[in-house]
Amino acid sequence: MIQHDFAEGAILLFDKPYGWTSFDVVGKVRNTVRRYLGVKSIKVGHAGTLDPLATGLLIVCTGKATKQIDQLQSTDKEYTGTFVLGATTPSFDLEKEIDARWPVDHITPEMVYAAAQSLTGSIMQTPPVFSAVKVDGKRAYDYARGNEEVVIAAKPVVISTFEITRLDMPEVDFRVVCSKGTYIRALARDFGLALHSGAYMSALRRTRSGSFFVTDAQHPLHFCEVLKNQTVAREL
């Protein structure tokens, strides 16, 4: 049984499925809550985008709780995932096909751990071209998809933890704790460069955002199904 005052404000935790956009989750939640309340509209928003190919914690706020979104977004995030060494893609993940291959025979385990250490702390990071960063009022990915060149300024981010959890060349599993605005895809690019090779991200999962954990999250379809059933039961 779901019991929330959605209009007064609710903070909902979802485990975003692979292939869904963050706005897919928001849209389903909004439509289901709107029918449950019997209203034409209600404010619903998320506190931090996850790429379609990523899974994990997505915080969704309803009603007056949407005023807390900026505060929720400002917290640190934890991710787990996999980098693949020896190749790159234009998007630094699996959204685009491999466009170049790079040597890996020279890479030792010691180099991998040293590269992670070199990218830990306060660093300057350039967001990916395939990202929602605005340049002259236009999203960077709009330039990229139109094959237009765009210069994106580097910005300061904090990587407080960059832990290597599995090394099985060319795959490297990791756990990263980072500040708001960090692009893990960009970290893959920089990780490959630090190893005098290339790298892209093949998997990503957000496990924590601030004090919220994915272990407490639910599948959005489960939430929608339960709330629909409660709506039907109430109308009987």
Q: So which residues are the catalytic ones?
A: 51
Q: Which two tokens stand for residue 129?
A: 């071209």
> How far does Cα 128 stand from its chain's mean position?
13
Compute how many other C-beta atoms are within 10 angstroms of the C-beta atom of residue 136. 7
User: Hey, what long-range contacts does 27-34 have (CB within 8 A, 24 or more apart)?
Assistant: 28/220, 28/221, 28/224, 29/60, 29/62, 29/220, 29/223, 29/224, 32/223, 32/224, 32/227, 32/228, 33/6, 33/62, 33/227
Nearest in space to 190 (alpha carbons), one of 230, 162, 209:
162
Helix ranges, 92-159 (H): 109-118, 140-145
